[in-house]
Amino acid sequence: MNKIVDFFVTTRPNAAGVLGSGPRRSFPTASSCGFDAEEALLDWESHLTGRSFDDLADDDLPEIVADGENDAVILALSDALVSALGAASNPRMDELAQWWAEEKARDGLALDPFTALDILRRVTDLIRQKRSPGESVYCWTC
């Protein structure tokens, strides 16, 4: 489980450059904590796209952009996940949040549906912002 999870938008070189300090001082972020970010990205993409969690993991998703000695890591959200979240309707987001909360409860993680929905909405808000060419969505966690 990650202590800090920050989603942010930038270019790949800039994303790798904030490994040690995190993105909050340099980029708008959607911040959270208390869940495994890598697993969440796989859960969301699997649920939204219909690909199995294992298939996504076998394809080395999410991609690790940078990792450091202090347990910090930067993950790239896949194009498929960015597209799926960006296109998700409010009812679809509600359904994803409910499903995610139930999945985590089965794993012993207390994640209520309201918190799950808040996290997903803040990430989706970042995704829906206009991005410059070469920018994508990343996740910094430690």
Q: Which tokens sit at 57?
A: 């993991």
Residue by residue, DSSP assigns 16-57 as: HHTTTT-STTTS-EEEE-SB-HHHHHHHHHHHHH---HHHHH
CA distance 82 to 13: 19
- Predicted confidence at residue 63, as pLDDT, reads 97
SS3 at position 110: coil
**Boundaries of domain holding 101:** 5-141
Number of domains comprising the chain: 1
Give the tens place of pLDDT for each residue, 78-102. Answer: 999 999 999 999 999 999 999 999 9
- Predicted confidence at residue 70, as pLDDT, reads 81
Question: Do 66 and 73 form a contact (C-beta atoms < 8 A)?
Answer: yes
- Predicted confidence at residue 69, as pLDDT, reads 77
Give the tens place of pLDDT for each residue, 36-52. Answer: 999 999 999 999 999 99
pTM score of the predicted model: 0.95
Using 50 as the pLDDT threshold, list the residues of the chain that sit under it. Answer: none
CA distance 27 to 18: 10
